[in-house]
Amino acid sequence: MTAPYQVTAIKAFNDNYIWAIHQDQNDKCVIVDPGSANKVLEFLTNNKLSLDAILITHHHHDHVGGVNALQAHFPNTPVYGPSKEARDTVTHPLTEGEVIDITAFEMTLKVLDVPGHTLGHIAYFDESSLFCGDTLFSAGCGRMFEGTPKMFSNSLTKLAALPIDTFVYCAHEYTLSNLNFAQAVSPNSIELKQYIASCEEKRSSGLPTIPSSIGIELSVNPFLRVNKPEVIESLNNKFAIHLNAQSNLDQNFKWLRQWKDSF
């Protein structure tokens, strides 16, 4: 489904993407995970936009570091964020099932609790887009800093159930690195080889590999494929264990995340 808005990547730090949601013929903008205020202010100035709202997925500094400075430039701007990680910067704490109506343009976002990377991590989605912070990456997922394998596995299962044409806007350009690992897990995957070629072409042209889509991730992301025979076989060979098709997804996820952490 075509979104009634545009999403532009604002590059920050080494590999972060701050997402700017905006619309033609409209001077308003919504910013997702502004780790850097300067980068956002430069984008807003260059495009003659004003800040309408800020969306936060979790509390890490590279996602919230620019919030206070942006609020100083745009007083009374609402800052939406996870209730379980609400800091002084969050003015509208959220939890799963709540809805945000962006009145500046046609956008209604639903909230999902997706703990694992952090305990209070949330994601925002509508009929066409998913803003998932560091929970789901293209061909990978975030590190498990605060959660448990069961938490993280359940969170990824939620995201995997979204419509396959949903655009996936994650917060880092980790795709080629993740694909290197994915190919170690599934060395014979034709889908992976094709996606690697596509992403390498984008990066060689200086373009982001993001957004991906849920459909793409279901075909290439080992963390959304932990119950697939080739992934189970690779895990058994790597760790000399005996997982099978009846193994709990969180157990498969635990071993896969452990492998990625030392890859």
Active-site residue, 134 included? yes
Q: How many helices (H) and strands (E) does the chain have?
A: 9, 14
Q: What is the DSSP secondary structure assignment for residue 69, as one 8-state letter?
A: H
> How many Cβ atoms from other residues are within 10 Å of residue 246's Cβ?
6
Active-site residue, 172 included? yes
How many CA atoms does the CB half-sphere of 147 hold within 13 Å? 30
Integer Cα distance of 195 and 255 in angstroms = 24
Q: Which uninterrupted H or E stretch holds 250?
A: helix 249-261
Integer Cα distance of 27 and 24 in angstroms = 8
Active-site residue, 61 included? no
Active-site residue, 92 included? no
> Which is catalytic among the residues 63, 113, 121, 126?
63
> Which is catalytic among the residues 59, 60, 113, 121?
60
Integer Cα distance of 217 and 164 in angstroms = 9
Q: Which residues contact 93 (CB under 8 A, 6 or more apart)?
A: 81, 82, 83, 86
> Which is catalytic among the residues 33, 52, 58, 59?
58
**What b/e sequence results for 141-175 when a residue is b if at least 16 CB atoms lie within 10 Å of its CB, and e otherwise?**
bbebebbebbbbbbbbebbbebeeebbbbbbbbbb
> Which is catalytic among the residues 22, 59, 117, 121?
117
> Which is catalytic among the residues 52, 62, 113, 126?
62
Active-site residue, 73 included? no
Known catalytic residues are 58, 60, 62-63, 117, 134, 172
